[in-house]
Amino acid sequence: MSVYRKILVPIDGSPTSNRGLIEAIELAKNQHATLRLVHVLDELILGPGAEAVVYLGNTVDLLREAGEQVVAKAEAVVRESGLISESVILEIMGGRAAGSIVEEARQWGADLIVLGTHGRRGARRFVMGSDAEEIVRTTPVPVLLVRMIQ
């Protein structure tokens, strides 16, 4: 009997995200689960002064293209493993990606979120923010955090 039938995997193309994807693929094989790959595209970008927020229309098109490439590469990795995945690009206007990921997990009915993480602590985590921490704190769905091996 499968415990996890629907596994949501946030992806951004980083080595950490890719490590989470590989773990999710192995788990999906074991559980005979469906994978949903989620990429979050933020259309608001902080300007040079960090207090200035700018909407950059043409840049959004480039970000969207880059996001589509991230998703296509991840889908190829999933196919090479013998699985099939669903994917979605979520477009947000500012805010944290974590909220969109948690909402997608709820709406899709995910049984598990598998997420690559740097495992930062202290000031580095504060400065960089931690979507992983926010996901863990706010989701009703179990989360498997996959740390990058260094």
Average pLDDT (72-88) is: 97
Delimit the domains of the chain by residue range.
6-147
- The encoded tokens of residue 90 equal 């979520």
What average pLDDT does the chain have? 85
Average pLDDT (23-51) is: 82
Average pLDDT (98-127) is: 80
Distance from C-alpha of 110 to C-alpha of 6, rounded to nearest angstrom: 5
Residue 144 makes CB contacts below 8 A (sequence gap 6+) with 23, 24, 27, 112, 113, 114, 115
Residues 117-138: pLDDT tens digits? 876 554 444 433 478 889 999 9
| pLDDT tops 70 at residue 57 | no
Average pLDDT (79-83) is: 97
- Select 6-147's CATH number: 3.40.50.620, 3.30.310.50, 3.40.50.1370, 3.90.550.10: 3.40.50.620
| pLDDT tops 60 at residue 108 | yes
Which segment of 11-15, 47-51, 74-78 scores lowest on mean pLDDT?
47-51
pTM of the predicted protein model: 0.85
CB burial class (10 A; 0-12, 13-18, 19+) of residue 61? exposed
Per-residue model confidence (pLDDT) at position 132? 87
Residue 26 makes CB contacts below 8 A (sequence gap 6+) with none
